Structure 1
């Protein structure tokens, strides 16, 4: 600085000096205080958690609490020489070791030899090893015995951001404390205290931007705050804060999300242009917008979003106003589009175009009719009530598909209905009445009997026509040149057929096989032809009923669909 004075950054100037000053780690401070009060202080501690959440600060506070000249206390005095030395990092009995730069076994052996000697003027000799997971395997092995049975005057405090990298043999010898990410509201509160102490004029919205930049880390938040103060001095505006820390302005996010739900494509594209002109990373902006919609979804889905979202009270109020009038399903559909766009932008040559397409789709999504409303409309049609203004064709209540055949003969007694309850016999060339009334039913029973005894032969008989059937004689016709004619004329097939006829009729029966031309013969249709004709007629009846049913027509109109297949239940 120009006047030659030394400037101390906020992260160091406002570092907590007592357990009660720890922000967001009350579970750790309370446990350590109880351990000190009850005299149950372990010989080894492991502090794990994200960066900048207070691990090293807590280690120093614990060292001061154990070595304070006024005695072991939950709150060190911070005024005695021992406390001051530990605060400044000049104590000869408290060793702060960087595990990242002292990874070798020789460094740990030196530490182990040093631990044997009594502290020079303190109560305990304390070793604080930061980033302890960086030690080598040999270094850990050299530390094991000392860690398990240390001298009474030695305490170990390990700090790490990656506890899973520590050997289980080390973890089992330490009391582990997991430090949480500091909630946004508590970071904002701490920043407000510092701003008031420094005489800084700044809004809570700007503090929220800084706190969010820290991502749960108090140190990162204070570093960002320092950067803002270096530029703006004692008067900080929201615009300057957003520009300096590279965060997306929350108002811009709110405006674009509001434009999406208002289907204002002009405002959506203008917002993306503004984002690009400011220089924001477009994918980062997309992720911020995803977080914005996620917050809207939570606010619209739960009664107490403040228990789920890590947001300040003014931000929650803004989200409630934005979410008013939108269902959770509306937000989820748009959120899905943005999540897909975020994945595509990672490999896209034109990320702005990908984002614009996704936001335009989100802004122009057609509203989805709730399924309950669709069900109510369909139920209204079934019950005969009117949900919407029906056309004259639909004004008369039509029965369900399964009931129309029984009701139509009563409603129209003078006219044969198109869909009768019993399908009529298919048209066939003229045949003697005796054959149609007696031979056909007898023939059907015989074919069924033959199919049970010999399925292969029965399947061939289904394609034959009973030309003549009387006592001692059965004359069967098959289409000329057909596979079935060739198959049945085999000597073995005739013998098998004669045996089946004798068993069926109880007497010897002569079998005659004829070749017939279907277009000229007067024989009745085969069973296969009869079944095919019945199926076609039944399918035609069902198609007519389905196409005329108002319930089906309304469903097709609502869903914009077409009938591709009809199956009878």
Structure 2
């Protein structure tokens, strides 16, 4: 039976340089070289699949051998152009390196290349998937590729240029083909449908273009498949049925349930989708793509790609408002982790449900600032101001020289009778609150913690990279035996570090590194500088001559520089020589 139908990607294969979509950086260079007659003896075309590498090689072969050329564009009417298009010209040889990868095939090519062309101006060898050649075949090709006969041109095409030896790459002019943008793919699909009288919805073309992922051949093959599936009009439902994907509206409902902390609704929707035969791995893949789009929309709403993929619908802006950039990053991390685990898990559905539950519990309860209760906020601020004033008064009393030293107004850590730790002062320390902490601080403790601080940062980065991104803005500036004070330049970084979950993670890491429970306290850099200017270094007032901690009033003073050095560093650390 004679089959007359041809696939769309074959019918619509580019026949001129101007037909190559989105590769202007390649076509312009080749056309200029052909106009001036300065074309090379070897070219390397690299890039993702379906971006026009082989098509560009055939167009170049036609432009070189055209009866009207060499010309910047082939005429596609002369015998040479028509035979090259049909693949019947003996002087233009296409070699599939995936199936002809041995040294014998390349030796045969090397022996035949020296003979002059029989019908056209130049012999052209198009080697597709050249990275599949063996090492011996590459070695056999080297000399011929470097100094071929004047009538021969080599065009190497590959999707994996990193697998080629540098000796091969250096002998070629290299052109990198770009992945097609969503807009280019949509425009070309619409052009084909209009020219062939195909009725298709814009939403259906958008799904095809997104599924193609930058490959024009993939997009045309998928359109071919959808046309065979549909009867009259191609709609989004038909494309989704062929690709096995989920509609954006359904994904939006599922994501809205997750961001709204509604695990029940999210799991019910997943149950419905899986009951309809949807693959869990495909659903996670689609959720990853949507989460990525939402993250880009939150970070860069004016990005062209975001506008094309989300089509400017108001629904996506509403979803972005439900979570911050950090929270959307966390959602994406959870989904990607689940996607990686699904490759080896016997029960992918369980991993999908676990991921959705984790996402629902990922978002923290909104703070009072988000409730809009301005009166409550004002009242809390007033109470905080009064407490700060009282602390300043107590701090002033502590710095005066009474007979009995008052108790520190800012407790750092206490052990109850049951052995549980009581924590206070979980937020930023103002200048007035630093003084009591500095009385307990020592240089030895700070140096010990500073030495291990890089390891703390490294372990935090392994646990959660977002927490590490905030923590690196801080610098340890003071320490006691069980407390570390970290100064931040940026208030947002400090506040994020102070979140309960983040702070708990950091303190757990410090316990592992230091071997004891260390409490993390934070302060703004400017507040720390002010207090340091007024209070002086804590180590001068916090150690006696034996290196033991003493109250400030008991530190002995001396005018002898040697004695002062002993007071500051301890007798064991000072060596006295005559």
Q: What is the TM-score when the length of structure 1 is the normalising length?
A: 0.67
Contact 1:44–1:173 (Cα < 8 Å) also in 2: yes
Q: Does 1:351 align with 2:348?
A: yes
**Residue among 186, 209, 212 paired with 1:211:** 209
**Offset of 1:280 from its aligned partner?**
2.5
For residues 71-129 of structure 1, the C-alpha deviation after alignment (integer angstroms, 9 at most, x for no partner) is: 21111111222111111111111111111222222222221222222211211111111
Closer/same/farther in 2, CA of residues 273 and 122 from structure 1, 3 Å limit: same
Unaligned runs of 5+ in 1: 409-418, 425-533
Structure number with bigger Rg:
1
Aligned to 1:493: none
Q: Residue 389 of structure 1 aligns to a residue in which SS?
A: helix
Q: Residue 233 of structure 2 aligns to a residue in which SS?
A: coil
CA distance in 2, matches of 1:545, 1:223: 68
Q: Residue 399 of structure 1 aligns to a residue in which SS?
A: helix
Aligned to 1:80: 78
For residues 444-476 of structure 1, the C-alpha deviation after alignment (integer angstroms, 9 at most, x for no partner) is: xxxxxxxxxxxxxxxxxxxxxxxxxxxxxxxxx
**Residue among 416, 422, 426 paired with 2:402:** 422
For residues 431-456 of structure 1, the C-alpha deviation after alignment (integer angstroms, 9 at most, x for no partner) is: xxxxxxxxxxxxxxxxxxxxxxxxxx
CA distance in 2, matches of 1:402, 1:545: 20
Q: Does 1:293 align with 2:291?
A: yes
**Offset of 1:566 from its aligned partner?**
12
1:48-63 equivalent positions in 2, closer than 5 A:
48-63=46-61
Aligned to 1:404: 394
Q: Does 1:127 align with 2:107?
A: no
Deviates more, 1:176-185 or 1:269-278: 269-278
**Offset of 1:265 from its aligned partner?**
3.0
**Offset of 1:407 from its aligned partner?**
6.3
Contact 2:410–2:425 (Cα < 8 Å) also in 1: no
**Offset of 1:361 from its aligned partner?**
3.4
**Offset of 1:323 from its aligned partner?**
2.2
Aligned to 2:39: 41
**Offset of 1:267 from its aligned partner?**
2.7
Q: Residue 34 of structure 1 aligns to a residue in which SS?
A: helix
For residues 13-59 of structure 1, the C-alpha deviation after alignment (integer angstroms, 9 at most, x for no partner) is: 00000000001211111111111112110011111112221111110
**Offset of 1:559 from its aligned partner?**
5.9
CA distance in 1, matches of 2:94, 2:47: 18
Closer/same/farther in 2, CA of residues 113 and 233 from structure 1, 3 Å limit: farther
Contact 2:42–2:173 (Cα < 8 Å) also in 1: yes
Contact 1:94–1:127 (Cα < 8 Å) also in 2: yes
**Offset of 1:341 from its aligned partner?**
3.2
Aligned to 2:239: 241
Aligned to 1:102: 100
Contact 1:185–1:310 (Cα < 8 Å) also in 2: no
Aligned to 1:360: 357
Q: Does 1:387 align with 2:373?
A: no
Q: Does 1:175 align with 2:173?
A: yes
Closer/same/farther in 2, CA of residues 402 and 108 from structure 1, 3 Å limit: same
CA distance in 2, matches of 1:208, 1:544: 59
CA distance in 2, matches of 1:219, 1:289: 25
1:224-263 equivalent positions in 2, closer than 5 A:
224-263=222-261
**Residue among 337, 342, 345 paired with 2:339:** 342
Unaligned runs of 5+ in 2: 415-423, 430-497, 505-516, 522-534, 539-578
Closer/same/farther in 2, CA of residues 402 and 149 from structure 1, 3 Å limit: same
Aligned to 2:24: 26
**Offset of 1:159 from its aligned partner?**
0.8
Aligned to 2:141: 143
Q: Residue 377 of structure 2 aligns to a residue in which SS?
A: coil
Contact 1:423–1:538 (Cα < 8 Å) also in 2: no
Closer/same/farther in 2, CA of residues 357 and 141 from structure 1, 3 Å limit: closer
CA distance in 1, matches of 2:412, 2:54: 81
Deviates more, 1:207-216 or 1:29-38: 207-216
CA distance in 2, matches of 1:395, 1:27: 63
Closer/same/farther in 2, CA of residues 566 and 335 from structure 1, 3 Å limit: closer
**Offset of 1:65 from its aligned partner?**
0.7
CA distance in 1, matches of 2:519, 2:219: 63
For residues 147-167 of structure 1, the C-alpha deviation after alignment (integer angstroms, 9 at most, x for no partner) is: 222222111111111222222
Q: Residue 389 of structure 2 aligns to a residue in which SS?
A: coil
**Offset of 1:315 from its aligned partner?**
5.8
CA distance in 1, matches of 2:109, 2:284: 50
Contact 1:295–1:319 (Cα < 8 Å) also in 2: no
Contact 1:401–1:545 (Cα < 8 Å) also in 2: no
For residues 259-301 of structure 1, the C-alpha deviation after alignment (integer angstroms, 9 at most, x for no partner) is: 2223333431122112212323213322321221121111112
**Offset of 1:357 from its aligned partner?**
3.0
CA distance in 1, matches of 2:412, 2:8: 82
CA distance in 1, matches of 2:384, 2:45: 74
Q: Residue 152 of structure 1 aligns to a residue in which SS?
A: coil
CA distance in 2, matches of 1:399, 1:103: 82
